[in-house]
Structure 1
Amino acid sequence: MDSPVDPQGSDGSLVAHVMRAIRQRIAGRTLAPGAKLPSIRRLAEAMQVSKSTVVEAYERLAAEGVVRSRRGSGFYVAGHLPPFSLAEMGPRLDRAVDPLWVSRQSLAAGEDVLKPGCGWLPPSWMPEAGIRRALRALARAEEATLADYGTPLGLAPLRRLLARRMAERGIEAAPDQIVLTESGTQAIDLVCRFLLEPGDAVLVDDPCYFNFHALLRAHRVKVAGVPYTASGPDLELFAQALAAHRPRLYLTNSALHNPTGATLSPLVAHRVLKLAEQAGTTIVEDDIFADFEHEPAPRLAAFDGLERVVHIGSFSKTLSAAVRCGFIAARRDWIEGLTDLKIATSFGSGRLSAELVLTVLTDGTHRKHVEGLRERLSRAMGQTSARLKAIGIMPWIEPRGGMFLWCELPEGLDAADIARRALAENVVLAPGNAFSLSQSASRFLRFNVAQSTDPRIYATLRSAMQA
């Protein structure tokens, strides 16, 4: 609230901007019930508006019952606390294309909507036959499998299998260092609940997966960004951010970075770990795209041995988004605390989902599926890249695998404007600033190559760019 107001609001009103800034602070709990608002003079100076603008904003908020005036004392937050609102904490001017909007539009889209901006594979790309076969096998399982809660850590045979799979990528994690979760998102949420307090600082890549922003906002922490390069975070700026913010966590992808498709280099990985150790920062490594790799990239958890790195994964991207199953691998002395939080927030594990994942992993379905999937994604990557280049949209890099292309629009075009025009034509895009904390990616779009095969997408893009 100490930053200048942008006078170009949706209603053109400086008063509305000041009111919005106050509401966001109240919604985010940084102004609690009964808290005194800044003086009229102080707020006017901080937001670079006139004192009369602040007076009118305070009076309107008082009329709405949001704040109360005390004669001779000032203005105070009303005693009733409104429900916590991620929407109010977000930038309203960019609400049409903010992180929650991208997710909401993609999840709610009907079959007639094209979704090159979403973050998952089409259903036809998933191993449907193998899943149906596993479901038939589970239908004959003992009644406890179908009806009972799972154990606190989660299905033991699946945890043993996950430990072997991680060992193939150089990560040493015993089964008792693994906690099953409902998803990769729940895994990150549990780690945040376990390690963070409101007001702590967290470092993220810029750009990064947009839901990191929304999730961290819900935990009411301070988020700082570090520019991401083709080989990992910018090391000089990473060191500066550690010194300036003293973050409790650094949240990142190591392999097939979302949204850029970049791959962490061994040199950068070693330096990141050294800098994090010196700063006392824990690293949360989100590795949900591991199975898309043709050749394994360096893993921070492999170099670190799970001392300072928490490793997270799931099967939503390669198996089924409807089968919710993820995991956390962490140091042993953190497992009990993470398990207690899991019980408190979701009670038992999703036993049926875990049994289904175990079946698909052990009967050969998953191995055969991902082998074919990598080749299919490679073909789609080349085709999508060529189609985008033909209309003047240039990939930032050519990724070594995965499903994402991070692309730059021609000079003078804004990705948010393109996304709004495309939505009117039933095409959901993912504009760059939804991923960028610094809002420095206004000319970028993320494309999911598996969802970008329909020619109508490129016709819509061409039309939107010419509008």
Structure 2
Amino acid sequence: MAAIRARIASRSLGPGAKLPSIRKAADLFGVSPSTVVEAYERLAADGVIHARPGSGFYVTSPQAPLVLADLGPRLDRAVDPFWVTRQSLEAPLDALKPGCGWMPPDWMPEQDLRKALRSLSRADTSRLTDYSTPLGLLPLRQHLVRRMAESGIEAAAAQVLLVESGTQAIDLVCRFLLEPGDTVLVDDPCYFNFLALLRAHRAKIVGVPFTPNGPDLDAFAGAVATHRPRLYVTNSAFHNPTGASLSPATAHRLMKIAEASDLTIIEDDIFADFEQQPAPRLAALDGLQRVIHVGSFSKTLSAATRIGYIAARPDWIEGLTDLKIASSFAGPALASELVLSVLKDGSYRRHLQSLRSRLAAAIGEARKRLARLGITPWIEPRGGLFLWCTLPDGQDATDVARLALAEGVVLAPGNVFSASQNAPSMMRFNAAQCANPHIFKVLEKALPAKS
């Protein structure tokens, strides 16, 4: 296949040219006729060649000119909320990704996942092939209820809806509650995909300055009074990108403002399992009346096993369930079974204990290496993945990110997280992805020389 594609690309085989017969190609390439048949069929499936019954195989059309930039991620696209994700997901396997938001593969519980998959392979057929119930797998929802209770969130299993990811959870809530033009408050900075998702819903986005204890409450109250927002989206624990956690005093005052203004809050709890000591949860203070609590297991268990959840008041769960059926019909049944199997195993708690220790060490090491370059953290986080840092001498983080990308390193410049674009010299680092010394050599090369 590769040889034939190369001949077409080099124009040795032009449009309409006939390929060697199966027998002749077998002799030419030194393979069996059945191998040639499979190769030709795959090329035909890709539209590269086509068969003429009784005549043979012919080149379909000329391929587009070879563009080297097409062999990798686009380096010239705008540095917007999609930039880091696109570069991280499209990068070659050997790329370094201190700007991405997930764990390296060897930090995940691979053996536990394999064990759960083997167990599921022996399950009855219905568990492998049937649709899930509208709310999702009941034993997993019951397990989630017990987990949320550890953070003070009281809910019944009927108040939990399983979905395909944390992102889908927020998307469903936005579809359920927002109309185009509605105002949504976000932290500034916030997770960049909040910005992308809200723009997809045509919401008006208003950023509220974020402090080490949570949102700036005076600014928050002012934004609520001025803009009358429909929603506020935030992380209570290990805020993305800053790594900060909500303080009890800020949480209580925030809920008073929300109650007085009839403001609904989406609390994204995706980093919950990184905590040693739980931060206050807005859903616990509110009793799931105006707070919608969402989460997933992509950060600690598997990004490939897409499963998320929504916890909310019963009437909202009813409407969200109908919306889920309308948009995706049924939930991820097989993924739910897999996640439940791993969560029920005591090995998951042991994995989390190991993960927290490993992350603490990684954050300490990353801080030391960054400090040598004059890169300083905004705060010292109590755990989690991220260091939110200031580059030296007001260096533009976007420029640094572009230079690093050309060296095979994906970084996360500050303004992709900022609705107001007020973080030009900030950068988020994922400590778990910072082990390779080449990252810091590239940073040193990209940054101005220290005086």
TM (normalized to structure 2)? Answer: 0.82
Three-state SS of the structure 2 residue aligned to 1:399 is coil
Report sequence identity in percent.
68
Q: How far 1:315 moved relative to its partner?
A: 0.4
Among 411, 435, 444, which residue is 1:453 paired with?
A: 435
The residue correspondences of 1:290-439 to structure 2 (distance < 5 A) are 290-439=272-421
Q: Summarize deviations over 1:279-337 as a string: whole Å, max 9, x none.
A: 11100000000000111010000111001100001000000000000000000111110
Counterpart position of 1:229: 211
Q: Summarize deviations over 1:123-181 as a string: whole Å, max 9, x none.
A: 00000000000000000001011111110000000000000000011000110000001
Counterpart position of 2:267: 285
Three-state SS of the structure 2 residue aligned to 1:401 is coil
The one-letter amino acid paired with 1:367 is R
Counterpart position of 2:18: none
Partner Cα distance (1:335, 1:233) in 2: 28
1:211 and 2:161 are equivalent in the alignment:
no
Counterpart position of 1:263: 245
Q: How far 1:101 moved relative to its partner?
A: 1.3
Among 110, 116, 125, which residue is 2:98 paired with?
A: 116
Three-state SS of the structure 1 residue aligned to 2:92 is coil
Partner Cα distance (1:412, 1:171) in 2: 42
Q: How far 1:96 moved relative to its partner?
A: 2.9
Counterpart position of 2:233: 251
Three-state SS of the structure 1 residue aligned to 2:132 is coil
Counterpart position of 1:10: none
Q: Summarize deviations over 1:251-300 as a string: whole Å, max 9, x none.
A: 00000000000010000000111101111110000000000011101000
Partner Cα distance (1:445, 1:385) in 2: 13
Among 133, 152, 170, which residue is 1:170 paired with?
A: 152
Partner Cα distance (2:287, 2:98) in 1: 37
Counterpart position of 1:132: 114
Q: Who wins on radius of gyration, i.e. which is larger?
A: 2
Q: Summarize deviations over 1:329-381 as a string: whole Å, max 9, x none.
A: 00011111000010111111110000000000001121111110000000000
The one-letter amino acid paired with 1:281 is L
Partner Cα distance (2:91, 2:346) in 1: 33
Alpha-carbon spacing, 1:170–1:381, altered in 2? closer, same or farther (3 Å): same
Query: How many residue pairs end up in the alignment?
Result: 374
Three-state SS of the structure 2 residue aligned to 1:317 is coil
Counterpart position of 1:442: 424
1:106 and 2:106 are equivalent in the alignment:
no
Partner Cα distance (1:377, 1:352) in 2: 30
Is the 1:96–1:420 contact (alpha carbons within 8 Å) kept by the matching residues of 2?
A: no
Three-state SS of the structure 2 residue aligned to 1:204 is strand
Partner Cα distance (2:253, 2:278) in 1: 19
Structure 2 gap segments, 5+ residues each: 1-75
Structure 1 gap segments, 5+ residues each: 1-93
Is the 1:395–1:408 contact (alpha carbons within 8 Å) kept by the matching residues of 2?
A: yes
Among 114, 126, 148, which residue is 1:144 paired with?
A: 126
Counterpart position of 2:258: 276
> In angstroms, what is the RMSD of aligned CA positions?
0.9
Is the 1:194–1:338 contact (alpha carbons within 8 Å) kept by the matching residues of 2?
A: yes
Partner Cα distance (1:212, 1:365) in 2: 32
Q: How far 1:95 moved relative to its partner?
A: 4.8
